[in-house]
A and B are shown apart, each in its own frame.
Chain A
């Protein structure tokens, strides 16, 4: 079987996902165009004619993020007409899903070189603005027990007995790690500053990190989901299923949940053959991918079953993995994943995560995969596993091995 190699990966810095955020002025299509340009610049021997497809994850693919933004961006970036583009949506896993689909297609031998990643300008296209039957169609919601994810995150913490201080301590550590990683330049290989039409820099660093975060400082923040849990009935819906739990302890808030940000990422995935033909050096191989699912109401416990599925496919054990990246959708999600797999925080999200740097929905999966590859190489380690919790109870996982 052919290999699916990671030849390069880049991402934009993440801007605060609001009007005052630096990337609010930048259209989502231009976030992608900047990266498509940079891929060519960084890899002068990468002949764009050889790119089969651009696969982009977008979670709210409407308005200026709609209409197959992948093909649109490829055209705007001046890629040849033969380069196709497709947009996909697996909620928060979209960026990693793009990578996994690209890897599968390359490994299957149908295609040779695919640029996979994602984009989300959350300041411009609001999360949830695409609607969907799961949340908005009563007949569907009644059958499936829909609740917003934050309720599920709070329920995980309640069931695990994690206090507000526990999740806040995790969040503070995420910020410390991200700040340290930035200070030491661990992200510099991957970051592509966002520039304007004159070449002036709009943003060159992750905007959201608060290096001096402490659990004590976070203690004052108001829980985000207490009110809708109570007033909109979502706590009751969750507790219909989790009937042994007296009440949900709402511990998550803006400071210990993933930040709302704007950003994009791309990963170049190709066969061994295309790499040698184009003179590209592979950095890692994708050895297994998996999606799985868990209870949709608690929603966020899917990473462990997905990770186990990928490990089984690869014939590996948890101990064979040197570093883990779990998307920090909420502190309790990362904590639960570590508990489920029996792994230490020492080898998990070693450079912080989305609580510190933000979670540009469609792009995050590709970003954390890139972070994983960089950090494995920096530490001279071999294997890593990236995973995200996903709406609908799904989980996704990808295992990479340094070449």
Chain B
């Protein structure tokens, strides 16, 4: 035990007969080891003891008693830190690192025995060791994912990875992308030195290495004559290439200002020019800057807290048995059906892929064959696994083949009567309690549910295209949909390894409704005579993956026109009025000009052999170029259009969770990740004066409404929420 008293500790100290000390990380207060106060105290005490007993110690093994090795920093605390906390944040970072540095400089070999996930702060502990051994198991992930949370590896991660792999490799392969490596990939990169097959072999292997290498107590960068792989910024070969680093980063993010990769790049390059301890301090300064900034809070909210909550079933009705589908009937073998069939088969379900003809169904299965062939050629899939997957997909034209299905996912054309018809066709054959799902992006689920005799079991599953790549599924709860059906749908989405959000039935649901406002805003700017390339770049510099004009070409203006008409008809049917968006005039014009879509080979862009070329040269003639509006306004118009629509979705009860809005908007419709999603964008909005929150958001929305139209005007619901200091339901 660590001390003679019965004091609580998170680091157990045990020396064996050979003098090898095993420090076992085991936080008694939590299920995972994190960088909390108890850990810091326990580790400091353990390291002190190592130094006290140095004459009797021959080496050190760092092991974990938890499922994971070590989970990393305390993100909750980081969410609270403001600019005024810079001094304590910096001091605490330096203190943690001083402890790790002391361990690193211990004059005996220190080995990390990685039994489970070692990410972020967990891997940074490993980096301070002299040797790293990991279990070759699928559950083990190794890496420094901080950049994906708007942070940088500030526990020595930047400083040590740069010294381990060199600037270029360290940055491009590990630090900037924040990749989570499997053990074998980590070994290939040099992030771990050795793999063992089982957890039982781990500590013995670590001890064996210590015995074989009793003098390997210094990391390469602490040995005399150390040379950084690939050179330092002062080495002419690297110096010549250095100006390209920031430029490439900007190119990669399409001009969107992600603070974390910029800080990582800066800390890495600046640190590579100086000694280890100075580099480490520079790293702490950049990390502190990220922590106290709003940007990291937005990303942590979405990519850590929201995602974790959704994965843990936050949006799923409680108290309902977990559900696992075994046999799915996929109706319609087009693009969406084929992708859904693949995703289900990949998750282990038996899949009956039904189309009107056997040929059509076979074509749908061929999609999976194509994906597998590609994966095999890249070495990501074995021939055997591919065969297993394909064997699970049965293409057919016969509804009777759906016998025994406990899940049906319909993915035929967006035509209510056709959808009703295919459900009627299979109803007699599937299990009497089979979950009935319709994949639709816009059609009201409650209305579709009238076509089945079990509306309580009927639910919408809005998949995104291409299904095999897009991580989100929007679950639409109809008026009659039961809690059981919703819980099962939630489980099915997770079963096929996708992320669910839950929304209530309404035209366009959440995602389609919201993305439409961004696209329309882009088109409105075309109508106003803004430069088309400025509109596209305003979008990508705001953080969208593509600009609205490119997106419009992909979405197809004929379909957009149809959706607008359906919305108009519905509004008029319900006795309301329909206010056409200024962007819809552009859609009409483009259709009239015979330039409706990429599919037709002509849209805002020119296309040759399906490849996008230049912006159509005739555009300026149709929409003469006017004076430019401020570029920031262009960005804000798209962001605010989507945010204001999101607020309306909360107001109308279409969406009931900020986590769902954040994750849904980022993963489904490309809302800029750096904002933390459409709800967080409002709640974490920071104006030019540095004020943060809904109040600042409402004030800016009013400015946009004054300048560009009432569609930006916040409703009284949002105003009251802001005025009362409230927030959207989490």
- Report which A residues bind B (CB closer than 8 A): 128-129, 131, 135-139, 141-142, 146-148, 228, 231-234, 236-237, 239-240, 243-246
Contact = CB atoms under 8 A, between A and B. Distances in A.
Contacts of B538: 243
Given A136-B233, A137-B270, A240 B248 contact: no
B247 interface: yes
B255 A236 contact: yes
Contacts of B614: 246
A239 to B, nearest CB: 7
Contacts, number: 81
A146 B246 contact: yes
A129 B531 CA distance: 40
A136 B243 contact: yes
A144 B251 CA distance: 15
5 contacts: A136-B233, A139-B266, A141-B247, A236-B251, A237-B250
Contact of A243 (B242, B243, B246, B541): B541
B198 to A, nearest CB: 43
Interface residues of B, number: 32
B250 A236 contact: yes
Interface of B is mostly: helix
Interface in B204-251: 233, 236, 239-240, 242-251
Contact of A138 (B239, B245, B531): B245
Interface in B34-87: none
Interface string B527-567: 00001011001100100000000000000000000000000
Contact of A232 (B233, B247, B255, B270): B247
A233 B247 contact: yes
B534 A233 contact: no
Given A146-B246, A243-B537, A138 B251 contact: no
A139 B248 contact: no
Nearest to A230: B251
A224 to B, nearest CB: 16
A246 B617 CA distance: 11
- Pick the 10 closest A-B CB pairs, nearest first: A233-B251, A233-B247, A232-B244, A244-B531, A243-B537, A236-B251, A139-B266, A233-B248, A240-B255, A135-B243
A136 B239 contact: yes
A349 to B, nearest CB: 31
B537 A148 contact: no
B615 A232 contact: no
Contacts of B541: 240, 243
Nearest to B286: A139
Contacts of B269: 137-138
A147 B531 CA distance: 24
Contacts of A231: 244
A195 B614 CA distance: 57
Contacts of B533: 243-246
Contacts of B236: 129
Contacts of B242: 135-136, 138
B378 to A, nearest CB: 24
A129 B239 CA distance: 9
A233 B244 contact: yes
Nearest to B254: A236
A155 to B, nearest CB: 14
A236 B533 CA distance: 13
Point out which of B247, B262, B614, B615 has the most chain A C-beta atoms below 10 A from its C-beta: B247
Given A138-B262, A138-B265, A232 B250 contact: no
A246 to B, nearest CB: 5
Given A138-B245, A138-B265, A237 B239 contact: no
